[in-house]
Structure 1
Amino acid sequence: MFAWFETRINPFPPGRPAQAPRRLLAFCWHYTRDIWPWLAITSLLTATISILQVVIFSFLGNIVDWLADADPSTFLAEEGWSLFWMGFLILVGLPLTGLFHSLIMHQAIFGNFPMIIRWKAHRYMLGQSFGFYQDEFAGRVATKVMQAALGVRESVTKIVDIFIYVGVYFGGALVLVATMQAWLMVPFLLWLAAYVVLMWHFLPKMRVISELQSDARSTMTGRVVDSYTNIMTVKLFAHAGREEGYAREAMDDFLGTVHPQMRLVTTLNVSLDIANALLLASVAAIGILGWTTGTATVGAVAVAVGLVLRLEGMSYWVMWELAGLFENIGMAEDGMNTIARPQAVSDRDDARTLVVVRGEIEFDGIRFHYGKQGGVIENLSLTVKPGEKVGLVGRSGAGKSTLMNVLLRLYDLEGGQIRIDGQDIAAVTQDSLRGQIGVVTQDTSLLHRSVRDNIAYGYPDATDEQVIEAAKRANAHDYILGLVDPQGRTGYDAHVGERGVKLSGGQRQRIAVARVFLKNAPILVLDEATSALDSEVEAAIQDNLNALMEGKTVIAIAHRLSTIANLDRLVVMDKGTIIEEGTHEELAAAGGLYGQLWARQSGGFIGVDANAEAAE
């Protein structure tokens, strides 16, 4: 039975995730529409439970009146069937309705609903641009996705379940009291008016504070995660105390939202205590007065006082639910401000799959400047022929890595066009584009998974034999066999830690090279591919890299010119433009920038221009 209800809603709906609206109600509906029929059924069951509970209160009043006037010897004969049906309602009808309500709410909705939100939001966030994540804490983004899922679920379920229950219950109670003694309605209506005024005054203020609190919580979490992620840097610079201060500042800001919230809660509690006390006193007084004048029965007084006591407990419950609702609305709004941002780089609706047959790359008058005033790349044109090996040379800030970023479409161009085999990369899917390009960067980041998973990341269907062969070609197999992680997993099953921190820079780099060996893409981009390797290891895998490059179009970036001197052509860049092209011998003899860099090298590295731009 439980399993049947748990599988009524698919927590991982198919289809490409769309951008959510940036208005709260539309944002909530965007993630709710898949489950609205179940919410409608829940609301109907909630209303039924409310009505049944009011009916039971009414019947209790009748019992009081019956017992006051009935003859014990004939009571069961006269009221037996009424008692039977009320017993059936209490023992069977109400529990059965509650069972179905609970099964739908807790088995079908509570687990699956937030998972739908997380699934859709996570997939959409994976489509956000590289630049988006450069401007955000990873921990902060993850927190907002998690918080938004719970915020939307709690907001929606409270509105369609709890407030329907309260509304129907209170309306039924008013009708019941009116049928017993009309004057008894007056205290209830006055109390309702006071209650609404209190909620109207306090809750919007709590909503504002909750939104600030949600943002402060995300910032606090992001700062803590940032310290943990960069723990090596923290320790190397002996800045644990500074990180404490960095986190404490965010924690103080968070507390600055908690204290005003608690002041509002205390004031609201005291105000509600006074309103409830006045309601109880006035209902009891009017009920007793009605009984003395014969306009109200003992049962009516008992029901009215019982309803007051029930509403008194319910009023605090509703208050906290409303406070929770506004807190969750604040969480949903805070998450919405991150999750619902448009994707800076997205596939067109008619995007095609890139097909690479020859591997020709054309940069045609491209322009890109990271949103700055001055252009990093201005009107650059370059053609890399099929199978050609081209090296990019230049000082830091010349635009070499930027050229690779726009080729991989981590950013969209601001002008011009890049074509691969005549196909505009802006008109093909990002996945098919990057699937045809193998990349090794100088800053290798591995996933916190097994070595096997990391090597096979570009070719998930690879066999163990293929993974091992790729590792051997990258001169990584021997050290992998000696790996052991804290959970006792060894060799290719060992996990490498977050971003690969359990491995040295050279070990991570060899894993990255093995990954590209296995992917075997027709186009290769090598951005300082061997920068983290010592000379012995570099020499050991250089022959394999040369073999990998055979028959492929290659663009290689290197500050160590000796690693690219043997390529077919070298392209020298400066301030976003191409200033020289040719072979190593031609450029070294020409006496231009390349010749100066080559002559000035000590240990094989290019000097860094002090005036070079930081962005590359």
Structure 2
Amino acid sequence: MSWSFLKRFEGLVHPFGDAGGESDIRRVGALEPLPREANRFIWHFAAQAKWPFVALLVTGALTGIVEAALYAGVGWVVDALERSSPQSLFADHGLLLLGLAVMTLFARTAVLFGATVLEQQVLVPSFYNRIRWQSYRRLMDQSYTFFQNDFAGRISQKVQQVGEATGDFIITLLQTFWSFITFAVLTVAILGAMDPWMGAVLALWTLGYAWIVRELLPRIRRTGRAAADARSVVAGRVVDSFTNILSVKLFDTERRQDAFVRDGFAHSLEATRAMTRAISAVRVAVSILNGLMMTAIGAIAVLSWRAGGMSAGDVATALGLILRLNQMSGWMMFNINGLVRNYGTIQDAVATVSAPPALTDARDAEALPRAEGRIEYRGVSFHYGKGGGIIDDFSLLIRPGEKVGLVGRSGSGKTTLVNLLLRLYAVEGGAILVDGRDIATVTQASLRAQIGVVTQDTSLLHRSIRDNIAYGRPDATEGEIEAAARRANALDFIAELRDPHGRSGFDAHVGERGIKLSGGQRQRIAIARVLLKNAPILVLDEATAALDSEVEAAINENLDAMMEGKTVIAIAHRLSTIAHLERLVVIDRGRIVEDGAHAELVRAGGLYARLWARQSGGFIASGAAAE
């Protein structure tokens, strides 16, 4: 069998499709959330590959029919051997033997081939990926707060788990479970026709099996969900340790992080043990039930043969069927355990991947055209849902092209005001307007396209230097990327970069969050990225704090040029870096307390003057709280 033949089936399910056939990753606006209830979630995805699943249902039924027919055929062969001599066997029963050979060689092989191709080529790679992809896309629509409130590793684990669990659940249900049901029904029909007592025993066995499924399996479902959640917590804590490895090595001399992760492993271990105890109880119950069934059927068959009610072939059929039924029921119970565990995993995961976004575009939101740069905070209030503090009834007008510095102690609300402008959070009261339009009425993507941001805590993607600089403008030419790096005073260190895979210069990869670069180098890449984006509004939040004085001076020359013609909001604790701006707005506890140029504010003798006087080496004394 050629690989190319199998590849033909691999495109029947689109691995990056969506419910409505949408597969364009550049789609603007949030997608419809996924169903939050596990059954609806499963059906939502099953409906997206309905014809492969219908085919899987058919092959599952055919598998059960072929299995039962083959065991019945054993009885027919035994009777044929008993009735014929070796010389007349083929003359008397040639068609029967030929039919069984064709069924074994061709029909059984064709059914198993069809089931295998449907599962392994059509569904497992593409369908599982489709679920993960759609889950990932919905999570990317979540608000900034959503990711602040959870472990990145835990969220990513949910995406991986839900794809496999949902796919396994549907495939097991339609293929394995349905095949078993078909075989069991035919077994009851065949043995019931041979002897009503055997039919009665199998009917009682069916009731016992149903009782186990109803009474004992829910415990596996509950413990399976708890175990899945515990595993995702462990993944989150482990990833958190690796992501923050430098802080762990520098500050965790008593191995507290190990204890924290060990506690997660211990909780996961206990949850897993609770699940395995439930599984053991089910397996023991099935073993006892099957033992009673096989003993009863075997006794009835032998006694009926002694009484002349059954032939030797009938006994062989009966014993073969119940032995296979015993094997399949144990195997099926194992798969039912898997079904229940997967269902618990789906229940656990949908709570995360199907959560509706807390911040979305308005239904009739329009794209914001290139901005002139007029920004107005109009009676804005925001408290991070705490009911007080931070920003209260804040109003501020920034004219197009104006350069404004926000000044205040740590925790006064400066960065919060910028995050509200970027709509990383939604205002709780009032409105923010850009060019006279409420930012809540325009798409988030078009709003952020108008704003270039450089923050103190710069994290880069684990990609090449080139990709990171061009991230906000992917259509930039090589010359434009290089020019932005030169203006950010980054060309010299970029030329010397080389990663472990031998890539160098602009091709070198920077590591997770840019860990392979120094803080100053990351900052220069971030500045180059904003220079290249060339947005009409510029936000500088401690943009040069990670740089040494010489590099800062070199970059500030380019920043002055970059700010030309743009509306600028700059935040800096080091007042010397923003004192030259035409306007400084002093904020205290979310309110404006002073507004003016540097010289005016120093003469006024207010909060700004005290902050300026208190600086040592250009830094503000530490405030009461981190922003």
Range class of TM-score, shorter chain? over 0.9
The SS at the match of 2:427 is coil
Following superposition, the deviation at residue 233 of structure 1 comes to: 0.6
Aligned match of 2:383: 369
Question: For 1:449, what is the secondary structure of its paired residue?
Answer: coil
Distance in 1 between residues matched to 2:193 and 2:297, nearest whole Å: 15
Contact 1:387–1:552, Cα closer than 8 Å, also in 2: yes
CA distance, structure 2, for counterparts of residue 519 and residue 35 of structure 1? 41
- How is 1:303-382 mapped onto 2 (pairs within 5 angstroms)? 303-382=317-396
Matching of residues 201-240 of structure 1 within 5 Å? 201-239=215-253
- Which of 247, 250, 268 aligns to 1:254? It is 268
Report if the CA contact (8 A) 2:158-2:349 is conserved. Answer: yes
CA deviations 1:300-335 (Å, max 9, x no partner) are 111110011111111221111111111111111111
CA offset at residue 520 of structure 1?
0.8
Q: Does 1:140 align with 2:154?
A: yes
Select the residue among 300, 308, 316 that pairs with 2:314: 300
- The yes-or-no answer on 1:436 pairing with 2:450 is yes
Matched with 1:9 is 13
Deviations along 1:405-434, one digit per CA (max 9) or x if unpaired, are 010000111111111112221111111111
- Within 5 A, what are the aligned runs for 1:498-537? 498-537=512-551
Q: Which amino acid in the other structure matches residue 12 of structure 1? A: F
1 CA distance for matches of 2:359 and 2:31? 14
Whether 1:149 aligns to 2:174 is no
Distance 1:463 1:334 in 2: 45
**Mapped partners of 1:603, 1:72: distance in 2:** 108
Q: CA deviation at 1:83?
A: 2.6
Contact 1:191 1:279 in 2 (8 A): yes
Counterpart CA distance in 1 for 2:390 and 2:190 is 76
1:605 partnered with 2:612 = no
CA distance in 2, matches of 1:520, 1:384: 19
8 Å contact kept, 2:84–2:92: no
Give the 3-state SS of the residue equivalent to 1:354 in structure 2.
coil
Query: In the alignment, which residue of structure 2 is the partner of 1:63?
Result: 77
Are 1:265 and 2:260 counterparts? no
Q: How many residues align?
A: 613
Q: In structure 1, what is the equivalent of residue 399 of structure 2?
A: 385
SS across alignment from 1:370: coil
Q: What CA distance in whole angstroms lies between the structure 2 residues aligned with 1:28 and 1:273?
A: 31
Q: 2:540 aligns to what SS in structure 1?
A: strand
The match for 2:68 is 54
Equivalence map 1:159-170=2 (5 Å): 159-170=173-184
Worse overlay, 273-282 or 475-484: 273-282
**TM-score, scaled to structure 1:** 0.97
Change (3 A) 1:195 1:357: closer
1:77 aligns with 2:81: no
Preserved contact between residue 181 and residue 300 of structure 1 (Cα < 8 Å): no
Shift of 1:192: 2.1
Q: Structure 1: how far apart are the matches of 2:371 and 2:300?
A: 90
Q: Which moved more, 1:591-600 or 1:500-509?
A: 591-600
Partner of 2:288: 274
Matched AA of 2:305 = W
Q: Is 1:113–1:153's contact at 8 Å kept on the other side of the alignment? A: yes
Measured at CA, do residues 356 and 500 of structure 1 come closer, stay the same or move farther in structure 2, by a change above 3 Å?
same
- Matching residue of 1:573: 587
The answer to whether the 8 Å contact 1:360/1:384 transfers is yes
The answer to whether the aligner puts 1:32 opposite 2:60 as a matched pair is: no
Per-residue deviation at 1:201?
Answer: 2.9
Is 1:206–1:327's contact at 8 Å kept on the other side of the alignment? yes
For residues 137-168 of structure 1, give each alpha carbon's deviation from its aligned partner in whole angstroms, at most 9, with x where no partner exists: 10011011111111111112111221111111
Question: Using the alignment, how far apart are the partners of 1:59 and 1:89 within structure 2?
Answer: 10
Say if 1:210 and 1:327, in contact at 8 Å, map to a contact too. yes
* 1:189-233 deviation line (CA, Å, top 9, x unaligned): 222222222333321111111111111111111111111111111
One-letter identity of the residue aligned with 1:546: D
CA contact (8 A) 1:440 1:512 kept: yes
Tell me which of 42, 62, 66 is aligned to 2:56: 42
Give the deviation of 1:596 after TM superposition: 1.7
- CA shift digits 1:260-296 (9 cap, x unpaired): 3333333333333222222222111101111122221
> Are 2:371 and 2:450, in contact at CA under 8 Å, matched by a contact in 1?
no
| Residue of structure 1 in register with 2:509 after alignment | 495
Change beyond 3 A, Cα 1:60–1:4: same
Task: Provide the C-alpha distance between the structure 1 equivalents of 2:375 and 2:6, rounded to a whole number of angstroms.
Answer: 57
Instruction: Summarize the alignment of residues 456-495 of structure 1 with structure 2, pairs less than 5 Å apart.
Output: 456-495=470-509
Separation in structure 1 between the aligned mates of residue 587 and residue 549 of structure 2, nearest angstrom? 27
Letter paired with 2:217: L
Contact 2:192–2:200 (8 Å) recurs in 1: no
Distance in 2 between residues matched to 1:273 and 1:238, nearest whole Å: 51
Flag structure 1 segments of 5+ consecutive residues without an equivalent. Answer: none
Looking at structure 2, the residues matched to 327 and 477 of structure 1 have their Cα atoms a distance apart, in angstroms, of: 54
TM-fit CA distance, 1:71: 4.3
**TM superposition shift of 1:258:** 2.3
* Alignment match of 1:200 (pick from 214, 220, 243): 214
| Contact 1:11–1:112 (Cα < 8 Å) also in 2 | yes
Equivalent position amino acid for 1:576 in 2? G
Determine helix, strand or coil for the equivalent of 2:586: strand
List aligned pairs for 1:182-201, cutoff 5 A.
Answer: 182-201=196-215
Matches of 1:270 and 1:344, distance apart in 2: 47
- Tell me how far 1:78 sits from its aligned partner: 3.3
Task: Give how far 1:93 is off.
Answer: 1.6
Q: What is the rounded CA distance, in whole Å, between the counterparts of 2:616 and 2:186 in structure 1?
A: 89
Inter-partner Cα distance in structure 1 for 2:357 and 2:440? 14
Is contact 1:440–1:516 with CA below 8 Å preserved after alignment?
yes
Work out which of the residue numbers 105, 116, 119 in structure 2 matches 1:91. Answer: 105
Are 1:593 and 2:607 counterparts? yes
Instruction: Give the partner amino acid of 1:10.
Output: H
Cα distance in 1, alignment partners of residues 403 and 47 from structure 2: 52
- Unaligned 5+ segments in structure 2 are 24-29
Report the residue type matching 1:8 in the other structure: L
Displacement after TM superposition at 1:186 (Å): 2.1
Q: Report the CA distance between 1:533 and its aligned residue.
A: 0.6
Alignment correspondent of 2:126: 112
Aligned equivalent of 1:180, options 174, 194, 199: 194
Question: Is the contact made by 2:70 and 2:100 (CA closer than 8 Å) also made in structure 1?
Answer: yes
Contact 2:77 2:97 survives alignment (8 Å): no
Alpha-carbon contact 1:17-1:120 (below 8 Å) kept: no
Q: Secondary structure at the match of 2:8?
A: helix
User: Could you tell me how far 1:515 is from its partner in structure 2?
Assistant: 0.6
Other structure's SS at 2:381 match:
strand
Cα contact 2:217–2:282 (8 A) shared by 1:
no
Structure 2 counterpart SS, 1:457: coil
Aligned residue type for 2:8: W
Q: Letter of the aligned partner of 1:319 in structure 2?
A: M
Secondary structure of 1:34's match? helix
Deviation at 1:120, TM superposition (A): 0.6
Q: What do the CA deviations read for 1:218-263 (whole angstroms, capped 9, x no partner)?
A: 1111111111111111111143621111111111111112223333
More moved, 369-378 vs 50-59: 50-59
